[in-house]
């Protein structure tokens, strides 16, 4: 991992910061590589139960650094699947959805283009009222291609999504919540995201990971397959030490002692 992304882990919560504040965390080749490396590290990090993803400085992420990309970009191929089902550019968004633990994005300032797609990879997005967001790609003669179509289809009404894609119109945090791009609006999104992460970190980590897996997988399953997936997940959790500890800690009115 390079200096474009920082990770601090405390009390089982990983605080991940996009760290190019002088450029409003715009995406250059080093940022692409740093984001994917951060996600890959967290995938293997023991004891991390929740992730808070945010940006340093005045913005979450202003999208592509066009000057950098115009000079050759990362050189990574578009068509070839270099990262599982994705290319490098898609992986920076999809990796947050793929992590086994919940991810909360705290979004402030500017969240344009690729930045919006990265935030959309999180399980939840907390935005400030003044945040400006945009599906910006059409401004540059491009289409959204960093996972947005895969992520937005679950949340955003299609006619709204088409209008915003075709026009690259800007919208604010309250509109983002109304239209399905964000979970809730808060004046202090980072503090709210950390509070949610702390609550998640205080729950059975095995059950939390199974629940996220169910959310990720159930969209493309039929009813019978979803019901089977629920039962399979519960069978892996029920009567296990952490599930017993959940019951005992509630009955004894004490903090739970989880095993990661």
pLDDT: which is higher, 98 or 219:
98
Q: In the prediction, which pLDDT does 154 show?
A: 87
Averaged pLDDT, 41-52? 97
Q: In the prediction, which pLDDT does 173 show?
A: 98
Q: In the prediction, which pLDDT does 66 show?
A: 86
Q: In the prediction, which pLDDT does 14 show?
A: 98
Q: In the prediction, which pLDDT does 72 show?
A: 63
Residues 49 and 57: their CA atoms lie apart, in Å, by 26
**What is the domain-level CATH number for residue 29?**
3.90.226.10
Which residue segment(s) compose the domain that 213 sits in?
Answer: 204-251
Contacts from 77-84 at CB under 8 Å and sequence distance 24+? 78/145, 83/36
What is the per-residue pLDDT across 221-243, written as a single tens digit (0 to 9) for each? 999 999 999 999 999 999 999 99
- Asked if 25 contacts 31 with a C-beta cutoff of 8 angstroms, the reply is yes
**CA dist list (Å): 114 to 11, 154, 250, 252:** 30, 18, 43, 47
Share of the chain above pLDDT 90, in %: 94
Give the H/E segment covering residue 178: helix 173-179
What's the whole-model pTM score?
A: 0.95
Mean per-residue pLDDT of the chain = 96
38 and 158 co-located in one domain: yes
Inform me whether the pLDDT recorded for 21 exceeds 70.
yes
What is the per-residue pLDDT across 137-162, written as a single tens digit (0 to 9) for each? 999 999 999 999 999 998 999 999 99
242 and 194 co-located in one domain: no
Inform me whether the pLDDT recorded for 69 exceeds 80.
no
Q: In the prediction, which pLDDT does 164 show?
A: 98
Inform me whether the pLDDT recorded for 78 exceeds 70.
yes
51 and 83 co-located in one domain: yes
190 and 222 co-located in one domain: no
- The total number of structural domains in the chain stands at 2
Q: In the prediction, which pLDDT does 108 show?
A: 98
Tokens read off for 222:
């039929």
Share of the chain above pLDDT 70, in %: 98
- Give Cβ neighbours of residue 38 (< 8 Å, ≥ 6 apart): 1, 5, 7, 16
Tokens read off for 260:
């990661």
157 and 241 co-located in one domain: no
């Amino acid at each position: 991992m390079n200096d474009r992304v920082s990770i601090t882990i405390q009390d089982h919560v990983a605080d991940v910061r996009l760290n190019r504040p002088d450029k409003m965390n715009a995406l250059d080749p080093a940022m692409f590589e740093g984001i994917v490396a951060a996600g890959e590290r967290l995938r293997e990090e023991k004891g991390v139960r929740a992730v808070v993803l945010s940006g340093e400085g005045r913005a979450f992420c202003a999208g592509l650094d066009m000057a950098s990309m115009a000079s050759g970009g990362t050189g990574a191929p578009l068509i070839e699947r270099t990262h599982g089902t994705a290319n490098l550019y898609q992986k920076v968004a999809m990796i947050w959805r793929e992590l086994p633990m919940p991810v909360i994005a705290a979004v402030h300032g500017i969240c344009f283009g690729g930045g919006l797609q990265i935030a959309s990879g999180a399980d939840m997005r907390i935005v400030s009222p003044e945040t400006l967001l945009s599906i910006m790609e059409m401004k540059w003669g491009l289409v959204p291609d960093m996972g947005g179509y895969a992520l937005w289809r679950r949340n955003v009404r299609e006619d709204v999504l088409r209008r915003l894609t075709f026009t690259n119109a800007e919208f604010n945090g309250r509109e983002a919540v109304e239209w399905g791009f964000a979970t809730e609006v808060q004046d202090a999104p980072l503090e709210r995201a950390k509070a949610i992460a702390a609550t998640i970190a205080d729950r059975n980590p095995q059950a939390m990971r199974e629940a996220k897996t169910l959310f990720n997988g159930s969209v493309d399953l039929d009813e019978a397959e979803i019901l089977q997936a629920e039962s399979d997940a519960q069978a892996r959790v029920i009567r296990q030490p952490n599930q017993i500890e959940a019951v005992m800690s509630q009955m004894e009115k004490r903090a739970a002692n989880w095993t990661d």
